[in-house]
Amino acid sequence: MPPLPDWLVATWNRDYIRRAAGADGALGEPDRSTAVRYLQTAAGGHAFDLRTPAEDLVLQKPFTSLEDLTATEQLIALVSDSKVEAFAGVTTAEPHQQKADDQAERWTLRWHGAWLFPPQLGDGDDPLAVLEAVAAGAHETGDVGVASPTAPASRRQPVERWMEHAPDGSYEEDWRLLGAYRRQGAHLAAVRRAGDGCGACWLALLGNTFAFARDVDRAALPAAARNRPIADALADETIPLEARRRLLDCDFCFGTFGQGGRVGGVVERASHPWRRGAALATLVGEDSSRAWEPVRATDAEALRVALGAIQEDHAWACGALREAMDNGQTGVAELLRARGAVPVATT
């Protein structure tokens, strides 16, 4: 695959989208009702996109785990009322064909989603199989945009803004470099195969930001749910409630390492409301029997070091929380809890 333009490799926030309205196709007013985090790596073009309500309306629901979803309406609400959409997969790029006298830089970008929210339940929707199809040039996608970067103020500055237009003119999106993004840090992506009751996972570390995705456990999907739209399967009360919950047992999380020293990364936005504030260490796990595989073989040592540091920092934060609780340091304890630390038992 052709390499991505260097300027695209960063973490982005969508400022707005304008959609075509009316018979003349003119674009409407800017819509900022959805917060979008887009993390683009150079590791095989792997990327992550998470879209949640800008005002965190989904977080107002009183759900703390999948077990709290006890009615069909609640299951459906998590994938419809929440208005959450997400993917992890691969971006491909090629220079956009334009007129000879047009000197503006433009790229046609194609986003191939392998991990998706809401989950797709088809036999061909296994994320790792989708990645193989993308690598073989055999995966089609309708998610296509034409990107135009805005020249930076000086050659020493990175591109901080780019515009995306639909090839058919149906929308325009304004992308800005995420204000909290810092380029220093690891730049890698990795996958983990399904096993032990857990679906395939995806992880990217890009500067001081991270993204994590976990697929549903496809081996445990009820037969009656396979190859159906998820909303239909969730509404089918002939499928036991516990089995329908498993259709939503996945994760799409975005966060940063910028909340202070030695916390190992904290989730800021997520597909599931109860994940906000969780430590990245609790998502990536410590199970060496299903090791993370770097997308680029040359990242193997960097990945090992990064995962070790994430776990070490989380362990420190958890120990500091226990110490703060024992010493009655309520303020410190609350801060550590907000950073994803959980109490550890004393011996």
Mean predicted confidence (pLDDT) in 58-74: 76
Q: What is the pTM of this model?
A: 0.93
Q: Please write down the HEC assignment for all residues of 143-174.
A: CEEEEEECCCCCCCCCCCEEEEECCCCCEEEE
Q: Which of 108-117, 284-293, 305-314 has the highest mean pLDDT?
A: 108-117
Q: Residue 168: inside a domain, yes or no?
A: yes
The total domain count for the chain is 1
Residue 259: is its pLDDT beyond 80? no
Does residue 92 contact residue 109 with C-beta atoms inside 8 Å?
yes
Whether the bond between 118 and the residue before it is cis, its omega within 30 degrees of 0, is yes
Q: Which residues pair with 224 in a beta bridge?
A: none
Mean predicted confidence (pLDDT) in 317-326: 89
- Tokens 């965190």 found at: 56
Q: Residue 121: inside a domain, yes or no?
A: yes
Q: Which amino acid is at 198?
A: C
In terms of Cα–Cα distance, which of 267, 280, 264 is closest to 312? 264
**Range list of β-strands (E), the chain:** 11-19, 34-40, 46-53, 85-95, 107-117, 144-149, 161-165, 171-177, 187-192, 201-206, 209-214, 251-256, 266-270, 293-294
- Tokens 């739209």 found at: 229
Q: Residue 35: inside a domain, yes or no?
A: yes
Q: Residue 345: inside a domain, yes or no?
A: no
pLDDT of residue 15: 97
Residue 286: is its pLDDT beyond 80? no
- Tokens 């089918």 found at: 236
Does residue 100 contact residue 205 with C-beta atoms inside 8 Å?
no
Q: Residue 333: inside a domain, yes or no?
A: no
Q: Per-residue confidence at 99, pLDDT binned at 50, 70, 90?
A: low
pLDDT of residue 229: 94
In this structure, the strands spanning 107-117 and 144-149 are antiparallel
How does pLDDT run across 5-41, given as a tens digit for each residue?
Answer: 999 999 999 999 999 987 788 999 999 999 999 999 9
Cα(88)–Cα(80) distance, integer angstroms = 19
What are phi and psi for residue 203, nearest 5 degrees? Answer: -145, 140
Which segment of 11-15, 53-57, 139-143, 320-324 scores lowest on mean pLDDT? 53-57
Q: Residue 323: inside a domain, yes or no?
A: no
Q: Residue 49: inside a domain, yes or no?
A: yes
Q: Per-residue confidence at 60, pLDDT binned at 50, 70, 90?
A: very low
Does residue 339 contact residue 324 with C-beta atoms inside 8 Å?
no
Q: Residue 341: inside a domain, yes or no?
A: no
pLDDT of residue 301: 94
What are phi and psi for residue 195, nearest 5 degrees? Answer: 165, 160
For residue 31, give the DSSP letter: B
Encoded tokens for 46: 């792997």
Q: Per-residue confidence at 46, pLDDT binned at 50, 70, 90?
A: very high
Terminal Cα-to-Cα distance of the chain (whole angstroms): 54
Structural domain including 141 reads 6-306
